[in-house]
Amino acid sequence: MPEISAEQLNILNRNNDLLKRLIDDPKQGVQLQRKLKELDPSLKFTAVDVEDTVMQPVREELGTVRAQLEALQAERLAEREAAQRAQGETKIRDSIGRAQAKGKLSPEATDGLVKFMAEKQVADAELALPAYLETLPKAPKPPATSSYAPQYANVYGAEVSKDTADEKAKLLVTNPDKFFDMEVGAILQEAAEAA
């Protein structure tokens, strides 16, 4: 066996004491032991071995619980986003309904309003309605009324003239009360004769 000097033995003992103090350090000793065990798996450190044996099932269960928690958080986030989308869609539908009633829009015009909103990226149909109505073709202006009015109308072809052959039609146009009295009298006379 090779001999070592007293000075080398002294250095070796001091290094050994320093290593023991580092391994037994309450704050960083376990981390150092774990690192040494990674470098040399044959080393035996009670704290690391017991911790690995006891903590392994706990770590596995903790990993499972964390995965479940992350899945639940993702699901809840998706539900929240879906609820916000549904609420937004409801607001837009309500706005379209109010705009449709306000503007008295037909279903085709309402579809046009929705397309206009999408093109212009407007979310409120009531705000988009006036701009949309401006894009619609305007109805032609009615022609100016003329001051011409006929001075004479030949209703039912019963002209009031000496040449008219049908006196009943003439009487209907000129004096409807007298015509009615004559017709009622004729009907009553026919009924009396039939009886």
132 and 108 Cβ atoms separated by less than 8 Å: no
On whether the pTM is more than 0.75, the answer is no
User: Does residue 153 or residue 49 have the better pLDDT?
Assistant: 49
Query: Of 29, 9, 31, 10, which Cα lies nearest the Cα of 19?
Result: 29
130-157 pLDDT, tens digit each? 888 888 888 787 777 766 665 555 555 5
What is the share, in percent, of the chain residues with pLDDT greater than 70? Answer: 88
pLDDT at 87: 92
Provide the 3-class DSSP secondary structure of residue 153: coil
Place of tokens 């000097």: 5
Helix (H) or strand (E) holding 118: helix 107-120
Q: Say whether pLDDT at 9 is over 50.
A: yes
Top pLDDT among 100 and 152 is at 100
